[in-house]
A = this chain, B = another copy of it.
């Protein structure tokens, strides 16, 4: 069945029928605008991410269910990086006219599965025809008490730099997909990333993190964003980078620089954050209590010192710094 057979309003109706009433939602799908509440005393956090076929995803690599999950996951990751509790989202789709309805149904199932997992509610959006590929645009609302929100701008010289989970897996997975592999833990991390929502909220509630970002552009590029907004530099110890066993095993077989993949490969959706160095043990414990590995990988340095990566014996390494830039071709 094609979308044309049920029409735009039929499609929206099918989705709306699957949405439960939700906390804080006064009017959801089906009016000119959604009407929601923000808890008294809380500020509103809003993030928006657009995913474009052939730019962000390749339908030869991903199935619609995981694409739906990932579309919401990347937005959840942004709210997590502010320490916010995700609440409500809008989903806009530009749909090629010949896309099978079964594809869309599976995509929506993936979106709603991810939404259920994190307790967020679909409240609106837009649906239209695409003249080319599939376009997904999600706007996600979160909320948090204002003094708990963690921005990129709070890192101070002497702060330690931490990262959750492992880095480089997603970039490895993408490389594997391009070389014809279709499954495996790295491929899963690329196609089905896990946003660190509870870890982000816990860090915000504890008041530990001075600055935070999620790794979407690549560890060094995203650390660069923190450094720029905070007016500081940073030193990263390459030997402390958290690398998964499968990354270590597989990277050596790929014709690519193992360290560059871990430092510049994007889409890890891990949290990269800074905190006073004396809090290291408490932070590791707090994350461990949530089942999240966390490691100190470096130190914030003075303004003007840039981002420096050191290797064995503390010598400076030359590594590519640039993350993914949509218009530079890198």
Contacts and interface: CB of A to CB of B under 8 A. Distances in A.
A174 interface: no
Interface residues of A, number: 73
Interface in A123-140: 123-133, 135, 137, 139
A204 to B, nearest CB: 12
A52 B129 contact: yes
B11 A327 contact: yes
A327 B3 contact: yes
Interface in A22-48: 26-27, 30-38, 40, 43-48
Contact of A84 (B33, B44, B79, B132): B33
Contacts of A326: 8, 127-129
Contacts of A167: none
A277 interface: no
A153 B133 CA distance: 35
A31 B137 contact: no
A284 B287 CA distance: 62
Interface in A44-71: 44-50, 52-56
A26 B50 CA distance: 23
A283 interface: no
Nearest to A10: B327
A4 B52 contact: no
A146 interface: yes
Nearest to A84: B33
Interface stretch (A89-97, A182-190, A246-254, A312-320): A89-97
A142 B152 CA distance: 26
A48 B43 CA distance: 20
A78 B35 CA distance: 12
A278 to B, nearest CB: 26
A117 interface: no
B31 A128 contact: no
A65 to B, nearest CB: 22
Contacts of A40: 40
A53 B132 CA distance: 10
Interface string A132-172: 11010101011000100101110000000000000000000
Contacts of A255: none
B50 A44 contact: no
Interface in A235-263: none
B52 A44 contact: no
Task: State the 4 A-B residue pairs at the shortest beta-carbon distance, nearest first.
Answer: A132-B132, A54-B131, A33-B47, A32-B81
Given A31-B82, A33-B84, 11 more contacts: A7-B328, A32-B78, A32-B212, A33-B142, A35-B149, A35-B151, A36-B46, A50-B126, A92-B137, A131-B132, A132-B132
